Structure 1
Amino acid sequence: MSNLKSKFFEVYDVLKAELLKDKAFDFTKDSCQWVERMLDYNVPGGKYEIFLACVLGWCIEWLQAYFLVLDDIMDNSHTRRGQPCWFRQPKVGMIAVNDGLLLRNHIGRILKKHFVEFQTTYGQMIDLITTHLGQKDLSKYSLDDHRRIVVYKTAFYSFYLPVACALLMAGENLDNHSDVRSILLEMGNYFQVQDDYLDCFGDPEVIGKIGTDIEDFKCSWLVAKAMELCTEEQQKLLYENYVQAVLKSFLAKIYKRHK
């Protein structure tokens, strides 16, 4: 149990450090020290339930601290967890009201950061694993795999997140806008399909880069779709020529035949 508690506190230290370095807050040296002292005083000290997701566990502790800091002020309490209430600390007083609101806003910052990074990192993981499998067997590449990579690696971060943040700022419940989520993820998928096509056939002088998806053995939309459309003979040629520049003209012939 002590080892689990130690790991739980390691997560707290990471979260605290992230918040103190958050560029959304223009901290001065004094304000940074204040927030760090305020966090250390109010957030640790609860029951320390060990959650499977430590980040979510600490968000609960942050939420509890937010409630307690404000509740102590309203109740004019004297002690909390065996020590003086935060607002009764020297030079704190009613600044604790703003500190309580700061605690509440920290939760959103933590969830936003770690939710998005998890989605993107998960997509990157699928991409790397699929590429590794495809190097051994191209039949592992499918449109379902490609879409799964795109949704997590690109669509969530680049398309859904900005709109979701705008909805939250407008006071909307994201659960009431599942259609928005679906549309934006489709837009992300459409964008990536176009990007994959341009990576292969786009003029580097126009798109600003030299495409390397084929050379890198990526599970791009082009090869996934080719695996769906090609004959057994074409599939054999695809296996033999993947990663080679000649594949670009070969892929073009497959798509032209199926238009």
Structure 2
Amino acid sequence: MARVLVGVKRVIDYAVKIRVKPDKSGVVTDGVKHSMNPFDEIAVEEAVRLKEKKLASEVIAVSCGPTQSQETLRTALAMGVDRAIHVEVAGAEYESLQPIHVAKILAKLSQDEKVDLVIVGKQAIDDDSNQTAQMTAAFLDWPQGAFASKLEKTDSGLTVTREIDGGLEVVKTKLPAVVSADLRLNEPRYATLPNIMKAKKKPLKKVTAKDLGVDLTPRIKVVSVEDPPVRQAGSIVPDVDTLIAKLKEGGHI
């Protein structure tokens, strides 16, 4: 049976209206509700289902970030994950943490924990990078199935149905492999109160990037973070002829 490593990220809750800092150095995070990245919830659910089907022997959750990331890990444990690893990254290092760093951390932990499958969300809703799964697969030199909408375990490995621009693509991979979860892969469960209580007793190990031999020097510098331009107000036209005339003029409707 496979051992599964699942990556979870603490992000600003999807229902919160994002505000840009006055100095344009980033977005306001102080006093703002955070939760698990929704695509990572789907990744956790898929990993737990594999264990429930007896296709996985153990599920390990990993999160990179400040102390509050442990809350996100406890949510994963309450959903059915067996144990958690918190990679402590705080302050300026966390502000400049990039997918390449997270991928190196996940790759190193995958080797240390001798896992057969890595599942992460296809992207985080804060930076929308959509890079971590692909980079992790590259560092490990493992096959990958990104944007998975269906995951099936076979005798030889995995069959992954991928959502691509033109429709669906089915790929077969051997294990070990890296998979990223798309929206339609499953419907994540809610953590019940008894499971939240049990999660408090499950093991949660703390390590640092330095312990794992990963250098967190930033490769990218964020020059400015700005609000998107305000959309211009539309106008109502009386008939199709007027609409066509306006479009020909190249004006806004």
**Larger relative strand fraction:** 2
TM-score, normalised with respect to structure 2: 0.24
Which structure exhibits the higher relative contact order, with contacts defined as CA atoms closer than 8 Å and separated by 6 or more residues? 2
- Using the size of structure 1 for normalisation, the TM-score is 0.23
Structure index of larger Rg: 1
Structure (1 or 2) with the greater helix fraction: 1
